[in-house]
């Protein structure tokens, strides 16, 4: 945990500032920054543990057990507790992977057991939901952050979207989520260097008023029960020029897989008290992205169109520049590394490589099959061009393949 994170952190229950309890067990990093690796944080009302550099600001059973273990000087056991590792054998297997400098995201996820992350994370960066969310996040965050303000991703899980904020947030973006293992993975792999905080989305958020220029929650809001409090908290966390974004939340009026407890479009609008939100159907934004842009956030959609959209995007901001037409990013340099999309089977070697699109399951195909709008069924690539991906830079025809997600920018050591 970075020492400057204390500036934005507050107790979720008393609202007081938090500080390291120097008299209790703690461990700092060796570097000049003096980050906190393990320790106990105190406020007016409570104490919370920092486990493996991650403040745990809730009082669910694992957190209180881990807090007792840190106080007893057993940071190793506290980490096992927060990862939910059930027995010594599983814990030892995970510790071995976690301490390896060459282990991949995939290997680390597998060491956490079969129930941890489902099987689809490999394809996350090219699924239709993701490409819309990423485009909207980039457009809005770039507009409001202006190079000197910070972003927060709430309920951001393993950081797949947080990653889109790394180059836009002045200080590293904060990633808040209930699941310790996910934010830990995000800091190490998916959004390297982000600042993770473990907290409960159904409780008041452990951050200071106006600490951020951009607050977002994507692909998770329909699972939040305390929606009114959650939106009130997002409004509280941003400053007057900031923006709130709720991306890919389901629509009560239209069925979708993993439905959650969604609201109607006007139900979502009523959650906002200090900002006037604008609501977009995901289908129109998807068309914008597939056609190469611009992403039109100036559009006003009719109630009828919104009712028919299975997923909605909600944006609240006083900055009129947000609600305009935004060109899409076309990055020629990889944030991680350029790889052929793992949905493709590659055959042939040398001068010509043949790529054929396939899906890991019929469930995947049903939920994400719209990726056929930009992923061709088959294509042939010049092997030398593919080898040039290793440089981390693309140009010419490869740029178009990056845009269409045939080539994806994956985190380093992803699989
Ligand atoms: Zn407190």
pLDDT at residue 114 tops 80: no
Residue 45 Cα to ligand 1 midpoint, Å, equals 4
The first and second tokens of residue 387, run together, are 């080898």
pLDDT at residue 118 tops 70: no
pLDDT at residue 286 tops 80: yes
What pLDDT digit, counting tens, does each position of 30-63 carry?
Answer: 887 889 999 999 999 999 999 999 999 999 999 9
* pLDDT score of 256: 81
The separation between CA 335 and the C-alpha centre of its own chain, rounded to angstroms, equals 15
Q: What residue spans of 256-396 are helical by DSSP H? A: 265-269, 282-290, 303-308, 362-368, 383-387
Residue 320 Cα to ligand 1 midpoint, Å, equals 37
Q: How many whole angstroms separate alpha carbon 300 and alpha carbon 278?
A: 8
Residue 16 Cα to ligand 1 midpoint, Å, equals 6
Residue 42 Cα to ligand 1 midpoint, Å, equals 7
pLDDT at residue 116 tops 80: no
Residue 18 Cα to ligand 1 midpoint, Å, equals 8
Residue 1 Cα to ligand 1 midpoint, Å, equals 19
The separation between CA 302 and the C-alpha centre of its own chain, rounded to angstroms, equals 30
353 close to 380: Cβ distance less than 8 angstroms? yes
pLDDT at residue 138 tops 80: yes
Q: What is the mean pLDDT of residues 366-395?
A: 91
Q: How many whole angstroms separate alpha carbon 48 and alpha carbon 67?
A: 6
What pLDDT digit, counting tens, does each position of 119-130 carry?
Answer: 688 899 999 999
pLDDT at residue 257 tops 80: no
Q: What is the mean pLDDT of residues 339-346?
A: 95
pTM (2 d.p.): 0.96
pLDDT at residue 115 tops 80: no
Q: Indicate the pLDDT class of residue 345, thresholds 50, 70 and 90.
A: very high
Q: What is the mean pLDDT of residues 190-207?
A: 97
The separation between CA 308 and the C-alpha centre of its own chain, rounded to angstroms, equals 27
Q: Is 217 exposed, middle or buried (0-12, 13-18, 19+ CB in 10 A)?
A: buried
Measured over the CA atoms of residue 175, residue 178, residue 182 and residue 183, the dihedral's sign is positive
Mean pLDDT over all residues of the chain? 94
pLDDT at residue 72 tops 70: yes
Range in 110-114, 297-301, 325-329 with the lowest mean pLDDT: 110-114
């Amino acid at each position: 945990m970075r020492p400057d994170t204390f500036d934005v952190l507050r107790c979720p229950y008393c609202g007081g500032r938090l500080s390291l309890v120097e008299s209790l067990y703690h461990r700092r990093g060796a570097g000049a920054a003096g980050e906190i690796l393990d320790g106990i944080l105190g406020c007016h009302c409570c104490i919370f543990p920092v486990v493996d550099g991650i403040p745990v600001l809730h009082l669910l059973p694992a957190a209180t057990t881990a807090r007792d273990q840190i106080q007893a000087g057993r940071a190793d056991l506290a980490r096992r507790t927060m990862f939910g590792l059930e027995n010594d054998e599983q814990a030892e297997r995970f510790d071995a992977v976690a301490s390896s400098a060459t282990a991949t995201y995939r290997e680390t996820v597998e060491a956490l057991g079969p129930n941890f992350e489902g099987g689809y994370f490999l394809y996350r960066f090219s699924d239709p939901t993701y490409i819309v969310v990423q485009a909207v996040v980039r457009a809005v965050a770039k507009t409001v952050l202006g190079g000197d303000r910070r972003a927060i991703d709430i309920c951001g899980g393993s950081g797949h979207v947080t990653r889109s904020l790394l180059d836009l947030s002045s200080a590293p973006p904060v990633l808040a989520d209930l699941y310790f293992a996910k934010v830990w993975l995000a800091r190490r792999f998916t959004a390297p260097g982000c600042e993770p905080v473990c907290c409960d989305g159904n409780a008041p958020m452990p951050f200071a008023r106006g600490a951020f220029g951009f607050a977002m929650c994507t692909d998770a809001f329909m699972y939040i029960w305390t929606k009114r409090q959650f939106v009130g908290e997002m409004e509280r966390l941003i400053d007057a020029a900031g923006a709130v974004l709720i991306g890919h939340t389901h629509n009560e009026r239209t069925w979708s897989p993993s439905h959650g407890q969604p609201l109607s479009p006007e139900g979502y609008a009523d959650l906002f008290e200090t900002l006037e939100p604008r609501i977009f159907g995901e289908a129109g934004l998807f068309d914008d992205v597939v056609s190469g842009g611009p992403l039109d956030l100036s559009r006003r959609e009719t109630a009828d169109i919104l009712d028919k959209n299975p997923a909605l995007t909600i944006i609240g901001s006083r900055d009129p520049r947000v609600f305009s037409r935004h060109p899409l990013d076309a990055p020629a340099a990889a944030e991680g590394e350029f790889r052929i999309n793992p949905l493709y089977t590659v055959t042939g070697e040398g001068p010509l490589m043949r790529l054929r699109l396939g899906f890991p399951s019929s469930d995947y195909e049903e939920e994400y099959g719209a990726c056929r709008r930009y992923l061709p069924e088959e294509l042939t690539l010049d092997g030398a061009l593919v080898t040039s991906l290793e440089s981390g830079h693309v140009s010419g025809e490869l740029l178009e393949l990056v845009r269409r997600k045939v080539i994806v920018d994956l985190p380093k050591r992803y699989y």
